[in-house]
Structure 1
């Protein structure tokens, strides 16, 4: 069994580490050796950081934080110069939260800022609009501790879904996904989705340098070019709870296309990785 996980005991506190081996109260485990019960079936040692980029999302944060698992190591909120009570609400909901003020602009800049502040070995990206279900984080983390380098959320894998995408956005996503698959040898079912998780060490491989919304596409392309092992995770996207989305189908689609063409022109890749669909239930590459 992987050193990262083991079956959880029924007598373990789901919000805290289990008793030290042998029951010796004088034994002190290192933080890296501390098991975090994820479910009644298994516990993990790697600390998990959740990065949430937010700008004027005070009304949505209570819903976002409510679904986050109690076993995560830390939440890093990157505040994009909010003019509402985003920071105050975040600190009231989670006093131990790390709040980082964003110096630049754009979602990519916010994520890169948040990633740099993470102290966990696993990083999970979660939007602040309430569209993501934090309970799904267990599936992402399970994929990583089982051997994946990058766990990629998909609304179009078997078991996923979306309440939020318009017809034009679905069409654009389908076309762009097909283009990336054809040009980079990937097997993605969903390209433009921001709910992902990965080992922090992967940042050295993909070296993000994108400030805007298209950062998600850049990540998906560069993990393929780096030869990292990818597993798709079926995910359901819900409607934004409060406020208006900043997404613009045509504008953002063109920005994503520009990234694809730029990465294709500078292509220097290793052998392509396996992309595994979680719904196969077997763990072998397709």
Structure 2
């Protein structure tokens, strides 16, 4: 099968082709910090859904019995000493080798039964990352008011700056292809990791699909680790940092325009006085106006130069992705889920709405 195929062609993949391909190795990655009440159930649910998948629990220095519960359920336990979800995700992607990766929080709020739906676009090579959207109109999610407002604010900011058509930027339930896991550079150390994952994947040309999942409330006695104000500021800073890196013309252009408009205020007064009297009595205002105008033009030009450089790197990224798919021979196309017959896989894939 050619590497560059359209979505309709992928949906026409025959049952015989699915049977001929090897079964993929699926890794379920669960980042955890003090989730002793829920981690056992999360592991058990995914063991039922994907009995052949390897389940890895990454413990982030929990002070409760999270690690013991994970071992009792048969998960492979690893530790990340640096505190923060972002560091855990970096370690997961670096240390684990698989064909397909499922990342899910260990708090028991995401349904394991949705994993097949999320896996299918990656299995059929239609997506590099599939996001379980809690904010989709078809989702029945139990959000706290503060969490819902925060999610919508970050979505608005991201859509405005990056023109990205996304529904849920902060979901902790995702499926990844091997290519995106091993090639996407991640720097975040905390809860802003999902923001970095989403924006970098989109800006670097990876295929991202969102599918609806339900979000349940945490069970009684289980507590969220998110600090709304502090983590909200960190996520906002991450959005603007990525905008600086991937949308320099937008950021520097806006700053340059603001400086130019600011220079018009004193400049208009100076010019008006000069036209009326032929003199420049407000020399400091004239210097300020010229300085602001020149600074605005310089900042805007810097943004234009950086925009050109970023565009070239994005082109190189796409070329590298295309070469990787050629080298791999499109071996992810038509992969079959463990535990399913080829006919069951074909029937399930045909009803997914992308």
TM range (shorter): 0.7 to 0.9
How far is 1:50 from its partner? 0.8
1:75 aligns with 2:52: no
How far is 1:120 from its partner? 1.4
Alignment gaps of 5+ in structure 2: 1-8, 247-309, 319-348
Q: Point out which structure has higher relative CO (alpha carbons under 8 A, 6+ apart).
A: 2
- Rounded to whole Å, the distance in 1 between the matches of 2:172 and 2:69 is 23
Deviating runs (4+, > 6 A) in structure 1?
none
Q: 1:244 aligns with which of 208, 223, 239?
A: 223
SS in 2 for 1:231: strand
Give yes or no for contact 1:151–1:231 (8 Å, CA) kept in 2.
yes
Q: 2:73 aligns with which of 65, 86, 93?
A: 93
Which residue is 2:165 aligned to? 187
Q: Normalising by structure 2, report the TM-score.
A: 0.63
Q: Normalising by structure 1, report the TM-score.
A: 0.77
1:168 aligns with 2:146: yes
How far is 1:83 from its partner? 2.2
SS in 1 for 2:28: strand
Alignment length (residue pairs): 241
Change (3 A) 1:189 1:72: farther
Change (3 A) 1:282 1:126: closer
Flag the structure with higher strand content. Answer: 1
Alignment of 1:25-174 (within 5 A): 34=22, 45-68=23-46, 69-94=49-74, 97-146=75-124, 147-163=126-142, 165-174=143-152
Report which stretch shifted further, 211-220 or 241-250. 241-250
Which residue is 1:226 aligned to? 204
How far is 1:211 from its partner? 0.7
Flag the structure with higher helix content. Answer: 2
1:215 aligns with 2:193: yes
How far is 1:112 from its partner? 1.3
Give yes or no for contact 1:154–1:189 (8 Å, CA) kept in 2.
yes
How far is 1:98 from its partner? 1.9
Give yes or no for contact 2:170–2:195 (8 Å, CA) kept in 1.
yes
How far is 1:282 from its partner? 5.2
Give the number of the structure whose alpha-carbon radius of gyration is greater. Answer: 2
Alignment gaps of 5+ in structure 1: 9-17, 22-32, 35-44
